[in-house]
Structure 1
Amino acid sequence: MRSALLLFVLLGLFAPLGAQAYPWMIRHGYSSCASCHTDPSGGGLLTAYGRAQSELLLAASYGKTKEEVSPSTGFLFGAVTLPEWLNLGLSFRGGALVNRASETTNVRPVQMTSDVRAQATLGQFRANGSLGFAIRRARAAALTSTETNNLVSREHWLGWDNEAQTLTVRAGRMNLPFGLRNVEHTSWVRERTRTDSNDQQQYGVAVAYNGEGMRGELMGIAGNFVIHPDIYRELGYSGFFEVAPRSDLAVGVSSLVTRASYDVESRQPLFWRQAHGVFARWAVTKPLVLMAEADMLVNSSRDQQMGVGYTGLLQADVEPIQGLHLLVTGEALRPVGGTGVNVGAGLGAAFIFLPQVELRVDGTARRLDSGSGSTTDVLSVIAQLHLLI
């Protein structure tokens, strides 16, 4: 078991690695996300253009050349015609998870998102929001306060675009602009920087720019108003800047600094949290896209001196035929204040067999180093269905 796990980790760390869900759209010349998503930095609700591309470029073609978009790419597979000013979408991601740590194996169903997303647009102004249901977790986005079965709103904001639609100003609850916006919210680069799209959104004001060959967003963080009491809310900023010197290559930098009276996770007083890093996406060939992110983690508090750690992600997305994706991932993490280095690797396959309908299976192995000479091996397998209709 140990030798097989080590081989699995090494395979993930040294194989070619790339982008996922869907930063790998750079293989089609899309270095920016704003044309396909209502969020100017990517993710969440699709625009009408994004729905069309999901059929033309993402879904399996079954040997046929697609030249026209079918009505089924619309809301509820085209069953409902929406007015031009209204954009609606339903998102579901769920399946089954198997975890094995030491000698214990746990199998359970998982439900990651069950959200209704909407945007109303009036001229240069728009209002965007989501409402969903979470059986467990996602507590930092919950509108209700029970232990399980909560209503959640991951995003809700008001925005304004300039006439050229290159500049967007938003206020409300938003995803933090930082690094690669990958769907794997449990990856260490998302988990340890607290920038995942599951429930780590914050309230604040953000300015995003999407121009020819460059994009970026800077957000002033006012805190997560879902968290009580307010001594646990963070104040600060988060932002990224990315340049695309070619249509198949984009590189960027990220920075985040926050301060809280007490940290919501460690409960340390006067807690400063920082993350600074670089990321890149590269379409080596059309079938192969490489993605990487490396972040330095810095924490300090009134009771603890400054500590430094780091985390990194490497991932390859290979698309041998349209709609079928093979994924290889490697991760590393040195926790702030820790002495050991944790490593992880993953193998996965995703099949977008219909527009906005995806089946995916991932196996992930992690070796956790306590720093005292002992390690713990954790293996997980997740099978999931993703609907974005």
Structure 2
Amino acid sequence: MRLCLLVILSSLVWLRAEAYPNFIGYGYNACITCHYSGQGGGALNDYGRALFATEITARDLYPDTMDEEEIGNKSGFLGTKPLPWWVRPGVKYRGLWFQNNPGSTNSTDKFYNMQSDINLNFFFDQQQTYTLITTASYTTYPRSFATSREDKTPYWFAKEYYLRWKTTVKNLWVYLGQMDKVYGLRVADHTSVSRSPIGLGQFDQSQGVIVEYSPAKWNIAGNIFFGNAAEEPEVRQKGLSVSGEYEIYEKYRVGGSAMTSKSETVEWLRLAGFTRMGLSKGSSLMAEVGLTQNKSLLPANGNALKGMYATLESWVLIRRGYNLLSTIEYAKADLESTASEKMRWSIGGIMFPLPRTEVRTMLVNSKYATPDTGVPDNWQLQMQLHLSL
């Protein structure tokens, strides 16, 4: 019943109708407007930094006499001090505190350093025809990497590094190196059912090549990938993916993605349809529905698990810098068995009260439905701080 309700809601969104993909509510459809990557995520370019300061962030800190242009001029890495044209550094930090079962006698809480990144981006000419993007992360060893590392102490590693080429063909870009795979809506929550559970988590970048064509109403990208350099060879997923999105009318886009890949032990297939729709200024609605297949390549385990996931996310602007965020998610790993179903609902605030600062406060309810046993709901209170320089 819950699955049917979510699919119906997602279908209604489809028929009615970066920065975060939610920013379509501000009229920004293409991620390349604000990011060095045309698929979104990673470091912001100069325009993205200024936009974040002048349209997304609250201006309570600034006097009424200061205009938006002056605020934008303060958004550089060193504020108003200009940097050489050939380099753009950046620093990102994200920390998460959460409490399970808040208010109960068995409540537990924990704090995670989710993201500690340093970006160094280099341009080989002032027109940025050739750009080198690099990101180093400080974290404990990701579980998908070499299992020989036994200690859990944080360390620095190369998260992404790629060369971006702006070709002589208008709106055609080529990327070569280690980067995020092309697939679906790149939401910020890497624990979402459309991210890490299907192999697209925070540290699931892969070496490969991306070709992207992004005219006014279209965004089409293809990706051939060969696995993450830090992974053990037997678990590296090698394959290809494609993704496309089309603007039906202003602030309303629909799209689809497909990905096929395999390692020495498992073969993956991913298919998804998605939509984004801007409502009033700053507010948006977006959804993604996907099918998954995981087929073991080991002799004793030849059965393929066919699953699905779905997400529906709304972003409502309350006033500049302050937003209401709500997400409904559903996932089932195997549609042909009595495997458990997961349903998660999150609601809370996503706020940009100060320059270079994001604060999230979310209440999350998770349900696990199994045919044989009842599992109590899990409630979680989350608070997240994101700083970027």
Q: Structure 2 vs 1, CA of residues 206 and 175 (structure 1 numbering), >3 Å: closer, same or farther?
A: same
Cα distance between partner residues in 1 of 2:51 and 2:231: 38
Secondary structure in structure 1 of the residue aligned to 2:31? coil
CA distance in 2, matches of 1:140, 1:300: 18
Q: Which structure exhibits the higher relative contact order, with contacts defined as CA atoms closer than 8 Å and separated by 6 or more residues?
A: 1
Specify the code of the residue in structure 2 equivalent to 1:118: L
TM-aligned CA deviation for residue 384 of structure 1: 1.5
Matched residues, percent identical? Answer: 26
Take 2:101 and 2:239, find their aligned partners in 1: how far apart are those partners?
A: 38
User: C-alpha displacement at 1:218, in angstroms?
Assistant: 1.2
Deviation at 1:75, TM superposition (A): 0.3
Deviations 1:3-24 (CA, angstroms, capped at 9, x unpaired)? xxxx9xx99x979999x96112
Structure 1 position 208 matched with structure 2 position 212: yes
1:195 to 200, 217, 234: 200
Matched, 1:53 2:51: yes
CA deviations 1:250-294 (Å, max 9, x no partner) are: 1110111111112xxxxxxxx211110111110122253101011
Q: Which residue of structure 1 aligns with residue 275 of structure 2?
A: 280
**1:245 alignment counterpart:** 248
186-195 vs 57-66, greater mean Cα deviation: 57-66
Which structure has greater strand proportion?
1
TM superposition score normalised by structure 1: 0.86
AA in 2 matched with 1:309: G
Of 55-64 and 120-129, the range deviating more from structure 2: 55-64
For residues 348-372 of structure 1, what are the alpha-carbon distances to aligned partners after superposition, in whole Å with 9 as ceiling and x for unaligned?
A: 2021012321111112111112343
Aligned residue in 2 for 1:265: none
User: Which residue number in structure 2 is paired with residue 223 of structure 1?
Assistant: 227
In structure 2, relative to structure 1, the CA distance for the partners of 1:14 and 1:220 (3 Å cut) is closer
Which residue is 1:381 aligned to?
381
| Equivalent-residue separation in structure 1 for 2:90 and 2:13 (angstroms) | 31
Aligned to 1:368: 368
* Structure 1 position 103, deviation (Å): 7.7
Aligned match for 2:112, one of 110, 122, 141: 110
* Aligned residues: CA RMSD: 2.8
Q: Is the CA contact 1:240–1:255 (under 8 Å) kept in the aligned structure 2?
A: yes
Which segments of 5 or more consecutive residues in structure 2 lack a partner in the other structure?
none
Displacement of 1:163 in angstroms is 3.5
Q: Displacement of 1:178 after TM fit?
A: 0.9
For 2:282 and 2:85, the matched residues in 1 are separated by 35
Give the residue type in structure 1 aligned to 2:349. Answer: A
Q: Aligned to 1:49, what secondary structure does the other structure show?
A: helix
Separation in structure 2 between the aligned mates of residue 137 and residue 379 of structure 1, nearest angstrom: 28
Partners in 1 of 2:341 and 2:228 — Cα distance? 31
Give the Cα–Cα distance (whole angstroms) in 1 for the partners of residues 89 and 229 of structure 2: 25
Cross-structure match for 1:345: 345
- The verdict on how the C-alpha distance between 1:246 and 1:261 changes in structure 2, with shifts beyond 3 A counting, is same
State the alpha-carbon separation in 1 of the partners of residues 304 and 106 from structure 2: 36
The count of residues paired between Structure 1 and Structure 2 equals 366
Match of 1:179 in 2: 184
Residue 82 of structure 1 aligns to a residue whose secondary structure is: coil
Normalising by the residue count of structure 2, what TM-score does the alignment of the two structures yield?
0.86
How many angstroms does 1:373 deviate by? 3.5
Q: Which runs of 5+ in 1 are unaligned?
A: 1-6, 263-270
Residue type of the alignment partner of 1:121 = F
